A and B are shown apart, each in its own frame.
Chain A
Amino acid sequence: MPHLKTLVERHENDPFALIGINTGDEPDAYHDGVKEFGLTWLSAYQGMAMTPISDLYKVRGYPTYLVLDTDGTIAYRGHDGTAIDAVVEELLAKAKGK
């Protein structure tokens, strides 16, 4: 989480967005988590009953990260939070070069 916060801050002025997809937290635990980790970015809350977005992406383990290019193409999928930094940098550089 602290690492994601840094990532968001570093690309504050870039065409970049981090979107969280929360799964499996009760509302109270979710609110506590948001406060504790200082979540400032957009986050979907799927609740306990249905997990449509996780199901759509066949997410089996948590956390799972995907990085999407500006046209929506999936450039990275995996579980390594630090690995996404380089992918984001690269895609942003490519977008700026256009």
Chain B
Amino acid sequence: MRFKFILGVALIPVAAYAANPVVETVPTALAVAAPVDDFAALDEEFEAALVVHTKELKGADKAQRRALRGNSPIKRYWPKFEAMSAAGEGRATLWLVEHIKENRDVRSKDRGAVLTPLFKSIIDNHADAEWFTSAVKSLAANKKYVGVDEAVAMLEKAAQTAKSDNAKAASLFFTAMMLADSDAARSEKLMAEIGEKYSNTVYGTAARASRATAEDSEVGKVAPTFVGETIDGFQFSIEDYRGKVVALDFYGFW
């Protein structure tokens, strides 16, 4: 899900090309303009190596397993993503952050020291990226390693630098969550603000959920408005369904 849109962009020209075998000559300008997405290519290479690695592990005995683990894809590809990240490719930085748990070379006590500069770099340089909300989510998930105070400081900055409402709302929401115990008053105030100002986002819904009561959604009340997201990332608002009779089904396949 994380890089689907990136791969999508990278694959569209290829697919369109393959579907039109009649076109034999590619205009030079087009060929030059089509950029090679180094990151998408590296990520694809890594995922393929991972599939091979998992297959090899299955058929291996104990000694072979040890050897395979010593030369795992994460070990081999980590420096490549690291170099790409250092060269300014923000998606590579996000990749490092999202794969650090799989990297056994970074011990959990050192995780915070590795993660903090990576998050700082993303917040300072990539706040307008489409994937910025993923970085914010990841930061919140790593608060244990980064430290709550440091995480809150970074999230506050992210809330300012973020371009999209969804990323801003996410930054503020996780700030409020982290402050819930240490500064309950500020946390509640923040939740109220997010719920009102960013009601058009998933995190606005989450913020209002934190303050909801059972009475708000009993028979006779106007249904609380919410923004939902499908598994493909499509967002919709219940407000778009006014004028229709709506049945809501809260379910799980489990």
Contacts and interface: CB of A to CB of B under 8 A. Distances in A.
A63 to B, nearest CB: 5
Interface string A50-94: 101111111100111111111111111100000010001001100
Contacts of B205: 52-53, 56
Interface in B85-106: none
A52 B225 CA distance: 12
B245 interface: yes
A31 B241 contact: no
B231 A52 contact: no
A21 B222 contact: no
Nearest to B215: A58
B158 to A, nearest CB: 18
Given A53-B205, A53-B226, A58 B247 contact: no
Interface string B239-254: 0011111111111111
B108 to A, nearest CB: 20
| Chain B CB within 10 A, most for which of A50, A54, A72, A73 | A72
B246 A67 contact: yes
Contact of A59 (B206, B218, B250): B250
Contacts of B230: 42-45
A16 B247 CA distance: 8
A50 B206 contact: yes
B155 to A, nearest CB: 16
A50 to B, nearest CB: 6
A28 B146 CA distance: 31
A42 B244 CA distance: 14
B235 to A, nearest CB: 9
A66 B247 CA distance: 6
B249 A21 contact: yes
| Chain A CB within 10 A, most for which of B202, B212, B245 | B245
B218 to A, nearest CB: 7
B60 interface: no
B14 to A, nearest CB: 25
Nearest to A73: B222
A35 to B, nearest CB: 10
Given A56-B205, A74-B223, A65 B236 contact: no
A52 B209 contact: yes
A21 B250 contact: yes
Given A21-B249, A42-B230, A57-B250, A66 B223 contact: yes
Given A20-B251, A22-B251, A45-B231, 8 more contacts: A19-B228, A19-B241, A23-B251, A23-B252, A53-B226, A57-B250, A73-B221, A77-B219
9 contacts: A15-B244, A21-B249, A25-B253, A37-B253, A55-B210, A57-B224, A58-B213, A88-B245, A91-B245
4 closest cross-chain pairs (CB), A and B: A44-B228, A33-B253, A55-B209, A52-B206
Interface of B: 1, 202-203, 205-206, 208-210, 212-214, 216-226, 228-231, 236, 238, 241-254
